[in-house]
């Protein structure tokens, strides 16, 4: 049973926190060496955004997957999860379901120290968004989906090391102030990213940005 199933009491392949919005929580089992490499990659990239976004913590540049294989691996896992959603299919000419061809539009690393936070925001006009927990503990601040159901009840998902969360990019979400320091004052380390649609029409490649197709 996934972490989200425990919260909402619906042990299904895909969990729904309202009648409209699918969210998937999956535990990944990457080797220790890969986890350490992700940490090294984030530290190497450094704090490129310096609090100029909703994330008031260390945040790398937006295109980490272009330079670091570790980010491509995590983004690829997010694509697999997104394509497993039973409602996120398109229809072939014969009427059978078909996966939507997705690509990593953006990906970045984050490190939350004590007192850091992430203000409410969403990732529109991307299609899917994802977070991967590189290192955290159950005392860390949760990821909160602020408008999770028709009654306005927020959904709290507490981070666990190795946890991958995939969700529709237009959902508002936030992270409250980080109060946990971990053992040895280690930061909470995350990867986040966005997925969009890639299509081939005739002999031309189109990349879908929100509701627009850009050649």
For the stretch 14-71, pLDDT in tens is 555 544 577 899 999 888 888 999 999 999 999 999 999 999 999 999 999 999 999 9
How many structural domains is the chain composed of? 1
Distance (Å, whole) CA 31 – CA 41: 16
- Is the predicted pLDDT of residue 103 greater than 80, yes or no? yes
User: Global pTM?
Assistant: 0.82
Distance (Å, whole) CA 188 – CA 24: 21
Distance (Å, whole) CA 188 – CA 116: 10
Nearest Cα neighbor of 43 from 193, 194, 186, 175 is 186
CATH code of the domain covering residue 149: 2.60.120.620
- Whether 40 and 70 have beta carbons less than 8 Å apart is answered as no
pLDDT at 187: 81
Distance (Å, whole) CA 159 – CA 6: 14
What mean pLDDT is predicted for residues 115-140? Answer: 93
Q: Is residue 181 part of a domain?
A: yes
Which residue range(s) make up the domain with 75?
A: 21-214
- Whether 141 and 180 have beta carbons less than 8 Å apart is answered as yes
Nearest Cα neighbor of 175 from 193, 157, 187 is 157
pLDDT confidence band for 99 (50 / 70 / 90): confident
Q: Is residue 4 part of a domain?
A: no
Q: Is residue 12 part of a domain?
A: no
- Whether 188 and 132 have beta carbons less than 8 Å apart is answered as no
Q: Is residue 86 part of a domain?
A: yes
């Amino acid at each position: 049973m996934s972490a989200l199933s425990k919260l909402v009491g619906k042990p299904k392949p895909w969990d729904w926190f309202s009648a409209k919005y699918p969210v998937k929580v999956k535990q990944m089992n990457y080797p220790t060496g890969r986890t350490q490499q992700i940490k090294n990659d984030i530290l190497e990239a450094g704090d490129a955004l310096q609090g100029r976004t909703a994330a008031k913590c260390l945040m790398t540049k937006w295109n980490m997957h272009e330079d670091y294989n570790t980010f491509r691996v995590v983004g690829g896992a997010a694509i697999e999860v997104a394509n497993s959603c039973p409602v996120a299919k398109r229809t072939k000419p014969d009427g059978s379901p078909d996966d939507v061809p997705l690509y990593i539009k953006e990906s970045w690393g984050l490190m939350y120290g004590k007192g850091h936070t992430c203000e409410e925001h969403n990732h529109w006009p991307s299609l899917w968004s994802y977070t991967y927990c590189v290192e955290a503990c159950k005392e860390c601040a949760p990821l909160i989906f602020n408008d999770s159901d028709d009654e306005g009840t927020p959904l709290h998902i507490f981070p666990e090391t190795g946890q991958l969360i995939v969700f529709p990019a237009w959902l508002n979400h936030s992270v409250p102030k980080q109060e946990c320091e971990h053992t040895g004052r280690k930061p909470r380390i995350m990867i986040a990213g966005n997925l969009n649609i890639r299509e081939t029409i005739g002999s031309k490649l189109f990349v879908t940005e929100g509701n627009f197709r850009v050649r």
